[in-house]
Amino acid sequence: MDKLQGKRILLTGASGKVGIPMSERLVRDDNEVWGIARFTDPARRQRLDDMGVHTRAVDLLEPDFSQLPDNFDHVIHLGGDVCQGDETGIFMPNGKSFMLANQVNGIGTGKLMSRFRNAESCLVVSTTGVFKQRDADKYDQPEVEDGLLGPFHDDAPQYSASKNAQEVIARFCAEEFGLPTMIARLGCQVSSIENGLVAGYIGAINAGMPFPGFHTDRPCVYQYIHDDDIYDHVPGLLSIASTKPETLNWTGAEVVDIRDVANHIGKRIGRDNIEFVADPWGLMCTISDTSKLIELVGPCKLDWKESMDRVVDELMPECPRI
């Protein structure tokens, strides 16, 4: 499957950081998109309505799907209980109870897949945050899909646990209901969405704030994937959906020091003298092995610099490329 076009698609988490740009691209390719979320921000819902998305308010804690069509070609499941960013968009753990997180991410996924079991395929979007945080001396060793799982952050263990539960329940539902499913663990999204990770970088750098650029015992490294690569991968991910689902690490292959990212953005926007400080939140991403993704779906087309440049181009068009 090279492209999604002319399909009826159910997108959960439609008002989120991945959901809005995903919706925009799906509608642009002439798909009939139904977007569900809690829609706590009316402006986000209006934004989707204006795109042509059919929005319905659904809470995965106690989902009511009665206002949705019975049949969809594909289900793309982005929604769930997540860790939020602070007011600048920089990550900050936001813990909730294990019971609530499992009810939404785990059981909510099961209810969704049960209700729409007649779909041609289902993409369940998990997170690279399911991997246990690596020790300092092993921070740069990539983790394969069946590697060690556990909390990626001490202050948000319920998030990792509930996404692990989601994956298990998705596997059960795929086989039990005969719903071809793909489980993809999404990495660090690069997007021009206003409350996204990179928008937070740009805002902090432009404001001259001290930038969390390293840890006390290791570099601060990430793997990034741009919205364009996320969308371009979706047809391939759906095409290999199975009742015995594959699980793929879904992110860019490049391992990048965040100081290089910040310096690149700083040069673009005229803020060269960035003060780097130790990461106060201790967010230490586990590096993911992407060889299976590349083999089955294909590599990311955009390198990290082009990805960052596209965001700056959109958010600060007055800043020329270097």
Secondary structure of residue 177 in the 3-state scheme: helix
- pLDDT (tens digit per residue) in 255-311: 999 999 999 999 999 998 999 999 877 777 889 999 999 999 999 999 999 999 999
For tokens 């001290």, the residue is 210
CB 14, CB 20: distance < 8 Å: yes
Residue with tokens 């390198």: 303
State pTM to two decimals: 0.94
Compute the distance between CA of residue 126 and CA of residue 169 in angstroms, rounded to an integer.
12
Domains of the chain, each with CATH number or no CATH: 8-191+224-251+286-300 (3.40.50.720)
Average pLDDT over residues 122-130: 95
Q: For residues 309 and 316, what is the distance between their CA atoms, to the nearest angstrom? A: 10
* 309-315: Cβ within 8 A, 24+ apart: 309/268, 310/190, 310/192, 310/226, 310/228, 311/190, 311/191, 311/192, 311/198, 311/199, 311/202, 312/202, 312/265, 312/268, 312/269, 314/192, 315/192, 315/199, 315/202
Residue 320's pLDDT band, with cuts at 50, 70 and 90, is: very high
pLDDT at 158: 80
Alpha-carbon gap, residue 138 to 221, rounded angstroms? 12
Residue the block writes with tokens 């819902």: 45
- Chain segment 20-49, per-residue pLDDT in tens: 999 999 999 999 999 999 999 999 999 999
Q: Please say if the pLDDT value at position 157 is more than 70.
A: yes
The pLDDT of residue 96 is above 60? no
Quote the mean pLDDT of the chain: 91
Locus of tokens 């990805």: 307
Instruction: For residue 219, give the DSSP letter.
Output: B
Q: Which two tokens stand for residue 81?
A: 């209980």
